[in-house]
């Protein structure tokens, strides 16, 4: 409403004296908020970097009692 009042008073220049000036100002504010939201959300949706695979330590199981009897 403040932009509309400034436009009606002629303080924004002769090209911006119409009623559509307020709608244009709201549109610009919405676009700025949209880009700000995308800038904030961007890092949250970025895929995580692949971790360097570590070698899995091998666990050798002791021989089972059945295999020890066969010896």
Name the one residue in this structure whose structure tokens are 């010896």. Answer: 71
Query: Does the residue 17 lie in any domain?
Result: yes
Query: Does the residue 43 lie in any domain?
Result: yes
Total number of domains in the chain: 1
Query: Does the residue 66 lie in any domain?
Result: no
Q: Whole domain around residue 2: which residue ranges?
A: 1-48
* pLDDT single digits (tens) 29-55: 999 999 999 999 998 887 767 667 777
Query: Does the residue 64 lie in any domain?
Result: no
Predicted confidence at residue 51, as pLDDT, reads 67
Q: How far apart are CA 38 and CA 31, in angstroms?
A: 11
Query: Does the residue 14 lie in any domain?
Result: yes
Predicted confidence at residue 41, as pLDDT, reads 93
């Amino acid at each position: 409403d403040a932009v509309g009042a400034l436009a009606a008073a002629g303080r924004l220049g002769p090209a911006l004296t119409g009623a559509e000036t307020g709608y244009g100002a709201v549109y610009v504010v919405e676009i700025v908020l949209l880009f700000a939201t995308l800038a904030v959300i961007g890092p949250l949706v970025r895929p995580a970097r692949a971790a360097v695979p570590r070698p899995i330590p091998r666990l050798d199981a002791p021989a089972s009692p059945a295999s020890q009897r066969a010896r």
